[in-house]
Amino acid sequence: MVHSLEAITAQPHFDPAETPVEAAVSRGGGTLTLTFSDGPAASVAAGALRLRCRCAWCTRARADGRFPDAFDGAAIVAVEAVGGYAAHLVFADGHDRGIFPWSYLRAIAAETGPATGTA
């Protein structure tokens, strides 16, 4: 397969400014805090993130009307970088299919406001 030099040297398909300089999970996993180079840290409750998972399994559960309205007591047990554009979040309930682009996490943080609780 042949690729043009332009395709190989093109800019990434994400905004590097959306990549945080730090991602930290609170003790107990109740909150994910992202620190960006261009502003203050943004925190999101684990339950809000679990509700916003866009993996195929969660999307199908929503379409079938089987997705819960809340994930009380949700906790994040791991955050793994995916390339430079996203994070793979692992939740204490065993859910580990979601990949959250950094820009999506930042938007969720802005939308939900300060995280509540640090389960």
How far is residue 18 CA from its own chain's centroid? 12
Domain range 5-112, its CATH number among 3.40.630.10, 3.40.1410.10, 3.50.50.60, 3.30.2020.30: 3.30.2020.30
Q: Where are the domains of the chain?
A: 5-112
Closest CA to 89 of 44, 60, 80, 12: 80
pLDDT averaged over the chain? Answer: 87
Spatial neighbors of 65 by CB under 8 A, at least 6 apart, are none
| Global pTM value | 0.81
pLDDT band (50, 70, 90) for residue 11: low
**Half-sphere exposure at residue 24, Cβ-oriented, CA atoms within 13 angstroms:** 10
State residue 37's pLDDT score.
86
What does the buried/exposed string (b/e) look like for 15-32 if buried means 16 or more CB atoms within 10 Å of the residue's CB? eeebbbeebebbeebbbb
pLDDT tens digits for 43-94?
999 999 999 999 999 999 999 999 999 999 999 999 999 988 999 999 999 9
Q: Could you tell me how many helices (H) and strands (E) the chain has, helices first?
A: 4, 6
